[in-house]
Structure 1
Amino acid sequence: MSTSKTTVPFSRDSLDQVLKRRFFFAPAFEIYGGVSGLYDYGPPGCAFQANVIDTWRKHFILEEDMLEVDCTMLTPHEVLKTSGHVDKFADWMCKDLKTGEIFRADHLVEEVLESRLKGDKEARGIAAEVKEEDEDKKKRKKKVKEIKAVKLPDSEVAEYENILAQIDGFSGPQLGELITKYNITNPSTGGPLELPVEFNLMFETAIGPSGQLKGYLRPETAQGQFLNFNKLLEFNNEKMPFASASIGKSFRNEISPRAGLLRVREFLMAEIEHFVDPDDKSHAKFDVVKDVKLKFLPKDVQEAGQTELIEKTIGEAVASGMVDNKTLGYFIARIYQFLIKIGVDSNRLRFRQHMSNEMAHYAADCWDAELQTSYGWVECVGCADRSAYDLSVHAARTNEKLIVRQPLPEPVTVEKYEIDIAKKKFGPKFRKDAGAVEKWLLARTQCELEDLAKELADSGKITFKVDAIPEQIELDTDFVKIAKVTRTEHIREYTPNVIEPSFGIGRIIYSIFEHQFWARPEDEARSVLSLPPLVAPTKVLLVPLSSNPELQPVVKKVSAVLKKELIPFKIDDSSASIGKRYARNDELGTPFGITIDFESVKDNSITLRERDSTKQVRGSIEDIVRAIKEITYEDSTWSEGTAKLTPFETQSTE
């Protein structure tokens, strides 16, 4: 990789122009005016995404022996009601009272405060400059007046920094208080805003012609994996732990999509559900990754209003209790290795822990892999220990046991609460609702049965509410009996906990574009996209020196060898200079170029060019192709892969 990447300042505008001009992706329905948050991928974007997914599948599914499933995107209302998405899958939005423009509240607060801090820093920089310069008093007075308009009090600067460190943890009402306190208005018009209200992010639809079966486009791929747990466990010969994985489209009706691929309404996800024994969250391969060093932003640092990163190995993070368990730690390290492999800059990657007021009530721990871009730090991968929540709620709703049965080495005596229902009396009392009441009672946990047993003993009756029945249910000892019994058990039954790594592929792809985009210092108009050869859309550009027919047999021969080795390539036999042809493909991220000249006709030798350094070597067709394979697919460096080839020096054509 060329060190010159850092000598020319990054330009988001330049990157956007390249991505649009080379059709990596573009707004969908553009000739109709487009729809915000929807994008189409062009040929290089499709190829890059496919290569990222192929690498993900090999890195996780194949290497970890995961069970891949492909579940439907249409999901009935009842499933997402049970999972909590219908009631809780929402963001906070606020509306401009005059124009009707809508903003996502947390993003608006973050954007405005960051903008004010930036203005404050610029003002303080100018103030220092003015103090040092010996200017005429009139000019100096004017400058100071401009500075006072943007400079913030020191106390307010500290408040803003504290808020931004905790921005992901604020509730809707808290965001409303911040909007009011700091007079946050529409950034474009300065118009006043309504206080934030909740907006559910799911796309609602109807399944079937009658429209009676309400459904949604799935907001994640996870629920299908949970609902197929019993089938997956059986497929895995009842062995624990194991993991399922799914790659597919998900949909979220974002409030105000912006920032290109970072916030869209239809996107590709890759999710893993690793099912583990709640009493043993070790991982057989943890020692393989324990020395991987990572940058962490733990919750206590954020809650103190700070953003300083803590660098330590994943082994140290788990041993100290900062990361909850070894399986969670193992996947955090594997996420890091995957992101680095596909082109993420390790210096712009951190793992941020969810704060206490941000963490789901059922989660044991949760960390986000965040990538730094020109838009700030962006969550690209979530890695959560979701405990037994998902399987438990679906089991309770469907009365289907989603559990593991494990033979015990020796029988054990256990005490547990059991409920005895007088079923013959339920029919006359509840009629059509008898099944729903019975189902509710049988779905109670041991803790809930203990509470009900105490209520029954103290008052002679229990009262409770069943979702499908409007009236409160009341039962006395004629209908139910709850008692603690002692039993000898030969089988242990438990609901697995779930470790869930969840990848937003589009966000990762865009972040890599930013991390690997640069301009050559000798000509800033010449942009380069330094995608790793493994995931680059095309691996090789084949360049005949001229259109002379004598070169065509060699072009065909090299093409045949590349096809046989399954190496993606393109031929550019246009009339443009070799330098221009290479420059066009540097923008596309093509890592290698092969030049075919008149020497090639004589001895079948060809020249291989490396994209970032523009270094060239020469050798036989077979040796050059072997070097490309080693560097692209076998993790060799340029110097290792070309060690047996001859350095090639020629007059620069670039």
Structure 2
Amino acid sequence: MPSFHSTFTKSSSLSHIFTKTRLRHLTTTTTATMSTESSLRESLAAKLTTINHHGDVIRSLKSSKAPKSEIEEAVKALNALKLEKTEIENELKAAISGGSDGSNSFNGMSRDTFRQAVVNTLERRLFYVPSFKIYRGVAGLYDYGPPGCAIKSNVLSFWRQHFVLEENMLEVDCPCVTPEVVLKASGHVDKFTDLMVKDEKTGTCYRADHLLKDHCKDKLEKDLAISSEMAAELKHVLAVLDDLSAEQLGAKIKEYGIVAPDTKNPLSDPYPFNLMFATSIGPSGMSPGYMRPETAQGIFVNFKDLYYYNGNKLPFAAAQIGQAFRNEISPRQGLLRVREFTLAEIEHFVDPDDKSHPKYSEVSNLEFLMFPRDEQMSGEAAKRLCLGDAVSEGTVNNQTLAYFIGRVYLFLTHLGIDEKRLRFRQHLPNEMAHYAADCWDAEIESSYGWIECVGIADRSAYDLRAHTEKSGVALVAQEKFSEPKEVEKLVITPNKKELGLAFKGDQKLVIESLEAMNEKEAMEMKATLESKGEIEFEVCKLQKMVTIKKNMLSISKETKREHQRTFTPSVIEPSFGIGRIIYCLYEHSFYMRPDKSGDEQLNVFRFPPLVAPIKCTVFPLVQNEEYEEVANRISRSLTAAGISNKKDITGTSIGKRYARTDELGVPFAITVDSKTSVTIRERDSKDQIRVNVDEVATVVKDVSEGRTTWADILQIYPAHTSASADE
């Protein structure tokens, strides 16, 4: 899936410059990990050469009918060399997969084994399944089952609480079907693309960068005998993969001999494919539209009414939760790359001249993993930074952007995301759209690697300006002055005759780009035109540089007396991929522990009560009418308190019932073993307490809603010891 707001294609020359710069940094900077891997590859290559030589010696001894003892001694030496080779291979595999840190993150298993255990559990317990399964399914489409729906609902409920309610945001709900003109203005119709290749014989389509990525990773992980130089080159390709143009991607695919995975047929050259689902509005088919690829445009086109609703005051934020659609070329990675998904997006509108935030101090002391662009360019790792320091040093562009980065961190960690496997990565210059002031991604580590789950961008005033130009409706804000002010205003006056002669059909786009310049850009252009007579200027909508000459426009400043200032607001945009967050939460919450006998590993999801699909289960210790009535009474009291619960009155052993609920991530299990009091078991510690029947709902509600902790509860209620609690 492309980033939540695709950074549209920029000048190929600019991309090439950044690609070369990034390659140069990566080539000259060698980390300890890369050094270790290189050394192991060299040792393995030397060991293979020695083994081949010993094999030749043994064959020579046999052909010359050497004494049996001499041959046996040579074979023994060869076997010892092979053992040494295996040890080096194992060390190399560990270095490639991240060593002990990686294994600890995945319950002591390899990434693939861990992922398969998680996915098998999720599908078996109906968290989610492939859509249209009885018809063999459709790639990139999934159905959420009962526990999956409950978790998604809880995540979205907390999102509303954490952002919409606490920040007094204006929530909207806009249609999924969007007229073409809206997405034409935003740039999606022309530039919302990925590069695709086709099997030249069957016509099967593949995403070009995925094929190259898979090839490089497979060679690094499976072909342990490749040279350290080749390994370094493949790592470089992976590092700059997002920067490669269609021509560069095609060249690498040919150089490495990459063919269609299924048929081994040759592939076409890469070409752009628009990811939006096209449709038409109305029976005539004359009004083209698309299924929206994001929810943000619905907020932007409603800005004027939302601004009025907010009392014509800035700053304010609008939010929307809804479905988005992207026609992925070759979807994979389960819930991480799908064709229909849920986005939760915020557009915080702010005065471009004042991006301070009144609540910034509430997050400025937070410390967490951050990955600024300088560290990325120099080959260093992410590091813990204080958010306030990152702003004061200019690493993060402004307070409002930093405030939302901090709020996103708190949101994700409260959900249950492991803070050690959460980082905020700053976009490199070549990743950012031309209009963006700064962009950061909240990335979560999973068995698939680091996954972008939230994008937090300062998009400047681009979106509102684009829709103003296309619709003719001014999407602006006003600041009224207490007294009239003498205001110096920038005036850009294009010479349409000269521009028309020079650019013909592209004249309008060139003029739009010139008029969209901010004051700094315009005055720099003025100075260059006066000194040199011409300047190279990037027209983003044409995706190319053009030459602007002195006679093509005039740039000046005029002083006017004004009673108010009219301006286009900037927007800070946090955009959440809910499905991606939920999948990473599944992995971060999953672990295995032995049963009482130690013969079997039991699956457990350690969901916090906040997001757990069911807060508690209720079951009688034995099948007994009186106990079952008590269980029903407790269940009713829990439901009345708003606590989701599930009764289990099967005759299965208590240990197996605990295991079933642990596998669903249920935090508390209530066992009815008398008519007056019951036990409450906590999932991860397996500690049990005894509570009066009438107090059960209050205890579970207080812990589930965070008003108290389980540790506090243990101090209040008597502990209960039961052998069955360990099953």
TM-score strictly above 0.5? yes
State the one-letter code of the partner of 2:183: L
Name which of structure 1's ranges 87-96 and 518-527 shifts more when overlaid on structure 2.
518-527
Return the offset for 1:303: 3.1
Task: State yes or no: 1:628 paired with 2:692.
Answer: no
Task: State yes or no: 1:527 paired with 2:603.
Answer: yes
Change (3 A) 1:484 1:508: closer
1:29 to 93, 109, 132: 132
Change (3 A) 1:564 1:397: same
Return the offset for 1:7: 5.5
1:213 to 287, 307, 327: 287
Would you say the 8 A contact 2:107–2:114 is kept in 1?
no
SS at match of 1:70: coil
CA distance in 2, matches of 1:385, 1:110: 30
1:364 to 429, 433, 437: 437
Which residue does 1:577 correspond to in 2? 653
TM-score where L is the length of structure 2: 0.75
Which residue does 2:94 correspond to in 1? none
Return the offset for 1:294: 1.7
CA distance in 1, matches of 2:248, 2:288: 33
Task: State yes or no: 1:330 paired with 2:403.
Answer: yes
2:190 to 76, 84, 87: 87
State the one-letter code of the partner of 1:593: A
Would you say the 8 A contact 1:112–1:187 is kept in 2?
no
Which residue does 1:275 correspond to in 2? 349
Which residue does 2:480 correspond to in 1? 407
Task: State yes or no: 1:315 paired with 2:388.
Answer: yes
Which residue does 1:44 correspond to in 2? 147
CA distance in 2, matches of 1:650, 1:399: 73
Task: State yes or no: 1:109 paired with 2:203.
Answer: no
CA distance in 1, matches of 2:196, 2:351: 39
Return the offset for 1:12: 1.7
Return the offset for 1:170: 2.8
SS at match of 1:183: coil
Which residue does 2:67 correspond to in 1? none
Task: State yes or no: 1:382 paired with 2:455.
Answer: yes
Would you say the 8 A contact 1:61–1:67 is kept in 2?
yes
1:549-579 deviations in whole A, cap 9, x for unaligned? 1213311221222122110000000111111
1:611 to 656, 673, 683: 683
State the one-letter code of the partner of 1:495: T
SS at match of 2:370: strand
State the one-letter code of the partner of 2:302: N
Would you say the 8 A contact 2:127–2:145 is kept in 1?
yes
Judging by fraction of residues, say which structure has more helix.
2
CA distance in 1, matches of 2:689, 2:441: 42
- How many pairs are equivalent? 580
Task: State yes or no: 1:58 paired with 2:161.
Answer: yes
Would you say the 8 A contact 2:634–2:696 is kept in 1?
no
Change (3 A) 1:320 1:441: closer
2:249 to 159, 168, 175: 175
1:96-118 deviations in whole A, cap 9, x for unaligned? 33443322122222222122222
2:619 to 543, 553, 573: 543
1:159 to 209, 212, 233: 233
Return the offset for 1:337: 0.7
State the one-letter code of the partner of 2:336: L
Would you say the 8 A contact 1:414–1:487 is kept in 2?
yes
Which residue does 2:714 correspond to in 1? 642
1:349 to 407, 418, 422: 422
1:554 to 606, 609, 630: 630
CA distance in 1, matches of 2:400, 2:248: 35
Return the offset for 1:443: 11
Which residue does 1:373 correspond to in 2? 446
Return the offset for 1:152: 2.1
State the one-letter code of the partner of 1:612: D
Would you say the 8 A contact 2:106–2:114 is kept in 1?
no
State the one-letter code of the partner of 1:557: R
Would you say the 8 A contact 1:416–1:446 is kept in 2?
no
SS at match of 1:381: strand
State the one-letter code of the partner of 1:650: S
SS at match of 2:175: coil
SS at match of 2:395: coil
> What aligned pairs does 1:383-462 form with structure 2 within 5 A after superposition?
383-416=456-489, 444-445=515-516
TM-score where L is the length of structure 1: 0.83
Which residue does 2:40 correspond to in 1? none
Change (3 A) 1:344 1:7: closer
State the one-letter code of the partner of 1:552: E
Which residue does 2:376 correspond to in 1? 302
CA distance in 1, matches of 2:452, 2:561: 49
Change (3 A) 1:441 1:391: closer
SS at match of 1:220: coil
Which residue does 1:492 correspond to in 2? 565
Would you say the 8 A contact 1:77–1:215 is kept in 2?
yes
State the one-letter code of the partner of 1:83: S
CA distance in 2, matches of 1:6, 1:617: 31
CA distance in 1, matches of 2:707, 2:274: 45
CA distance in 1, matches of 2:233, 2:107: 35
Name which of structure 1's ranges 173-182 and 38-47 shifts more when overlaid on structure 2.
173-182
SS at match of 1:308: coil
Identity of aligned residues (%): 50
Would you say the 8 A contact 1:166–1:302 is kept in 2?
no
Would you say the 8 A contact 1:417–1:446 is kept in 2?
no
SS at match of 1:192: coil
Structure 2, unmatched stretches of 5+, are 1-103, 495-506, 530-538, 542-552
Would you say the 8 A contact 2:370–2:383 is kept in 1?
yes
Would you say the 8 A contact 2:671–2:678 is kept in 1?
yes
Change (3 A) 1:223 1:7: closer
CA distance in 2, matches of 1:259, 1:162: 23
Change (3 A) 1:643 1:197: same
> What aligned pairs does 1:121-160 form with structure 2 within 5 A after superposition?
123=224, 151-160=225-234
Change (3 A) 1:542 1:181: same
1:591 to 646, 661, 667: 667
Structure 1, unmatched stretches of 5+, are 124-150, 422-435, 456-464, 468-479
CA distance in 2, matches of 1:618, 1:638: 13
Which residue does 1:243 correspond to in 2? 317
Return the offset for 1:341: 0.9
Would you say the 8 A contact 2:628–2:649 is kept in 1?
no
